[in-house]
């Protein structure tokens, strides 16, 4: 095991912040936030989070597809 160097920061998933924002957007569109989500029955909260994750994954895939498309267009110039 290696020790962390002073001032070293953990690596972050580059899409992590966007994924979190998309999940929060989904929750807001349903009139929820993290505090109201915790107030839901467990099975309902799990369903909402599953739906939010699917939504975020689809949006991230769309963003990635668009990025590849733009890259292809610019690489042909």
8 Å CB contact between 27 and 33: yes
- Per DSSP, the three-state class of 15 is coil
Domain for residue 6, yes or no? no
Domain for residue 2, yes or no? no
Domain for residue 30, yes or no? yes
Q: What is the pLDDT along the chain (77 residues), one digit of tens a residue?
A: 455 666 666 667 778 899 999 999 999 999 999 889 999 999 999 999 999 999 999 999 999 999 888 888 888 76
Domain for residue 44, yes or no? yes
Domain for residue 7, yes or no? no
Residue showing tokens 């979190």? 20
The total domain count for the chain is 1
- Give the C-alpha separation, 51 to 22, whole Å: 11
């Amino acid at each position: 095991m290696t020790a962390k160097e002073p001032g070293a920061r953990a690596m972050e998933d580059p899409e992590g912040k966007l994924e979190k924002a998309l999940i929060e957007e989904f929750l807001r569109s349903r009139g929820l936030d993290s505090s109201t989500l915790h107030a839901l029955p467990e099975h309902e909260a799990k369903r909402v989070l599953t739906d939010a994750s699917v939504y975020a994954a689809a949006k991230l895939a769309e963003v990635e597809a668009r990025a590849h498309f733009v890259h292809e267009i610019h690489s042909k110039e």
